[in-house]
Structure 1
């Protein structure tokens, strides 16, 4: 059955206009055929009833108008004028025919009163017989002629349908074309557009069934426009930021080539290695940011406290190298909806920034709390913090507003912001009253239990 359905779908035209016209015209033809057959049969039955009625009325009109002729003679038509399609005969009760409307008609006298069919003269006759006190009247009609007249009447009833069917087809074609005209207008608008034209498509006068599609298309254009703009800014910023590390690497390579002794050569190699590490870190962060902005949403339940513990394990070597106290404060069990790896990266970037911009021997605390219907992840450090007027800029790409000389590319908080936005969360920067440095708060909508 499914195979038949697929085959049928494959045979259908791809054009919506042609499909509508095909189905509507098929429905019109089928309905017209059924109506024509029913009308034709009904007209035949009505014609038969009408002819029977006329035969009956003719017999009633002759009840008292014919005198009995003992010779069995009666008036008759001239043989040249004989018409055997309609015959009237009158018999006495003794069986003597005293009248016939056509000479030599010689229909048999039948004993059945009322209507019956009789085989005579090489054909079938419809006969109505009625008996009076003195005679029997028979009115007969040739069924062949009767059917011809009935068909003629029936075909006349089909004439209006034959005239209206083409008009109905034209009306359907006009109605379908007019209904799909706004869709064709949208198609022409899109066909004339340049590749970079993402302005909204007009949805004026569109059918209710098509308007949601155009609305979603406009929303898609808007998202693509934002993505293009973000990509353009990203490429411009990345090109600008990569220029400096690459220039520094070139200078460090030249210094290595000019080194005159082993000590100078070792120092140049160390500087070159550090430069390569910074460039590698910058490229990794750029790729991470690009993946986060392009990734699709994942709606899995994630244990935020367990994810925070994994992020702490990731940054433990860096914290140990700087002799820093990094730990998880007393936290609540909280489940959010999202991507576990992305949330782990969010917490790891916050911890990495706190470790990087805090002085050696400082403190960084991570905590997860539940506040009503929200799960809150907080990272506090004992570093210099960020001045209130610079906090909004600090969330932008390649912006570094703290700790002059500290290594970094200014992408850590931008990655955090991208991940948070993908999870419907908000990021807030303020001062840590307990440690004196920066406090970053990420507020999620908690998953329903």
Structure 2
């Protein structure tokens, strides 16, 4: 028989089987105990009758007790003999027992059946009390059945109660399953936890948390797709116009200018797509990936080395002003992107001949990464909005997609770090500070 995977089916199967087995075992024990107790009671009754007859005066001149043939006693047979073997008393019965007695209890075969016999002897007489074992067993069985009968009668009632309790207890689970089964694919509303058992409620709570995370991811994806489509529309339209300008150019100078503008437009579109891919990759990254200790100082040194050529092309002094040996728990690839974007933004907005300083320092239980430049900075009223995707400060001379700080913010949040923008007291431009709450052990 194949075991069902239904929780309700398994509970009912095991509980009903346990009730049946227990009831049968209890009824069997009660039946056997009642039979044994009945035998002991009958033996005691025979013994007391024999002892009572022994204590009386000698019985004489009575061969049979009673004169009515219909008043025969087939349950107990009593015989009394004198010391010389003369039977002086016998109950009226069809049974004819042997004219001999074994003192105490014994079983005697007679008249095609077996008798349970108890004999006792005194100086004046021998008393023998016998009982047909078939009659005894019939009486004992009736008594045992009356003892075990209520147990067997209660089993179906108990099974119905168990069936009702299990079915009722699992009804909220069936209701939750029906809620999930009836909803549409885009319905991520929470499943009701009303009436759920304590063992099932955590599962539904985790399911609701999963729905919430999926809904957040869907909303972010929809916003991302909408924003990306909006932002890509402008550079693609510009590329189309520049291609037509190249087609209409009739002089080498005009053709060279159109090619230059087309190449610049392609570079901007490529940069925008790269930034979009980086942002999408960061948002899709599994937050459950185990973090590892990352050396911030080493990461800053590597970034300075990678970006030195870009800074030198604009005559910008890029340097690592301080590098404490601190490690933070995180994802190396994501933190590399964050530091690189911070330095790249600083290079982009710092005028030629400016300065960019990077600092990695220990801060109590945590750590700080500071990137400051001598550029124009960001007005106070714009410092929160620049974290929005595709937002660019009006009148900014530097081009860009408006995704750099959004990517940096996203990575910082994933690492439980705080990103703040302020004015650099040292260089007069923008100071970006990433504060990590704890260092890796």
Above 0.5 in TM-score? yes
2:81 aligns with: 91
Pairing partner for 2:170 from 180, 184, 200: 180
Aligned-partner SS, 1:89: strand
Alignment of 1:360-371 (within 5 A): 360-371=352-363
* Residue 257 (structure 1) shift: 1.8
RMSD of aligned Cα (Å): 2.5
Q: Structure 2, unaligned stretches of length 5 or more?
A: none
Q: 1:136 to 1:448 in 2, by over 3 A?
A: farther
Alignment of 1:158-197 (within 5 A): 158-197=148-187
Whole-Å Cα distance in 2 between the matches of residues 119 and 306 of structure 1? 107
Alignment of 1:120-139 (within 5 A): 120-139=110-129
* Residue 218 (structure 1) shift: 2.4
Equivalent residues of 2:95, 2:111 under 8 A apart: no
Identify the range of structure 1 (425-434 vs 267-276) with the bigger mean alpha-carbon deviation: 267-276
Matched, 1:35 2:26: yes
Alignment of 1:360-399 (within 5 A): 360-399=352-391
Whole-Å Cα distance in 2 between the matches of residues 89 and 192 of structure 1? 86
Matched, 1:317 2:309: yes
Q: 1:288 to 1:77 in 2, by over 3 A?
A: farther
* Residue 13 (structure 1) shift: 1.9
Equivalent residues of 1:378, 1:441 under 8 A apart: yes
Whole-Å Cα distance in 2 between the matches of residues 193 and 222 of structure 1? 15
Whole-Å Cα distance in 1 between the matches of residues 293 and 17 of structure 2? 53
* Residue 401 (structure 1) shift: 1.6
Whole-Å Cα distance in 1 between the matches of residues 420 and 170 of structure 2? 50
* Residue 339 (structure 1) shift: 0.9
Equivalent residues of 1:363, 1:382 under 8 A apart: yes
Equivalent residues of 1:380, 1:438 under 8 A apart: yes
Aligned-partner SS, 2:208: helix
Aligned-partner SS, 1:90: strand
Whole-Å Cα distance in 1 between the matches of residues 281 and 403 of structure 2? 13
Equivalent residues of 2:79, 2:128 under 8 A apart: yes
Aligned-partner SS, 1:414: helix
* Residue 439 (structure 1) shift: 0.9
Matched, 1:106 2:123: no
1:21 aligns with: 12
Q: 1:95 to 1:381 in 2, by over 3 A?
A: farther
* Residue 248 (structure 1) shift: 1.2
* Residue 82 (structure 1) shift: 6.0
Q: 1:304 to 1:121 in 2, by over 3 A?
A: farther
Whole-Å Cα distance in 2 between the matches of residues 368 and 94 of structure 1? 126
Identify the range of structure 1 (329-338 vs 120-129) with the bigger mean alpha-carbon deviation: 120-129
1:354 aligns with: 346
* Residue 375 (structure 1) shift: 1.4
Q: 1:392 to 1:106 in 2, by over 3 A?
A: same
* Residue 349 (structure 1) shift: 1.0
Aligned-partner SS, 1:330: strand
* Residue 386 (structure 1) shift: 0.6
* Residue 60 (structure 1) shift: 2.9
Whole-Å Cα distance in 1 between the matches of residues 367 and 300 of structure 2? 12
Matched, 1:337 2:329: yes
Equivalent residues of 2:417, 2:434 under 8 A apart: yes
1:421 aligns with: 413
* Residue 423 (structure 1) shift: 1.2
Aligned-partner SS, 2:286: coil
* Residue 324 (structure 1) shift: 1.8
Q: 1:133 to 1:266 in 2, by over 3 A?
A: farther
Q: Structure 1, unaligned stretches of length 5 or more?
A: 1-7
* Residue 412 (structure 1) shift: 0.7
TM-score under structure 2 length normalisation: 0.91
Q: CA-to-partner distance for each residue in 1:2-60, whole Å, 9 max, x for gaps?
A: xxxxxx9xx43222221221222122112212211221122112211222222223223
Whole-Å Cα distance in 1 between the matches of residues 307 and 112 of structure 2? 113
Aligned-partner SS, 1:329: strand
Identify the range of structure 1 (382-391 vs 41-50) with the bigger mean alpha-carbon deviation: 41-50
* Residue 271 (structure 1) shift: 2.2
